[in-house]
Amino acid sequence: MDIRKIKKLIELLDESGIAEIEIKEGEEAVRISRMPTGMPAPQYYAPPPAAPAAPAAPPPVPLSSGPAKAANENVIPSPMVGTFYAAGSPTAKPFVSIGDEVKPGQILCIIEAMKMMNQIESDRSGRVTAVMVKNGDPVEFGQPLFVVE
């Protein structure tokens, strides 16, 4: 594997806050980790479901001027089935919050699918007006994650 690609992967790791990444190209593989070699990488699991104590709350409503979708609101859907994580680790702050300005390519969240942590990036610029999923929630393909105005 080309050393330039490895350096790019290290930069990506630093910028994203992810603790570990493994890439395979044909017969070659590289694994880059922030963890010391003697320590296992942390495993993140969705919290167990809480016992239903009250009726379920309705899903969050995007901040808009009325029930109809505003012309400048764009929904960012989940590109896959998995588990939604708002931050790179349980103790880290969320990648984005309501009111944050985002740019194309900016990391919005992580979706864990088949033990792989997949960074979900914004495809547009704007202000986050709604986060439609809670941390640790399962998500479906096409399910709305964020509303960007």
- 69-109 pLDDT, tens digit per residue, is 555 678 999 999 999 999 988 888 999 999 999 999 999 99
- Dihedral over Cα of 49, 54, 56, 61: its sign: negative
Place of tokens 């690609």: 5
What domains appear along the chain, each with residue ranges and CATH number?
3-33 (no CATH), 74-148 (2.40.50.100)
Determine the Cα angle at 14 with ends 132 and 116, to 5°.
55
In DSSP terms, which residues pair with 23 in a beta bridge? Answer: 30
0.75 exceeded by pTM: no
Task: State the average pLDDT for the chain.
Answer: 78
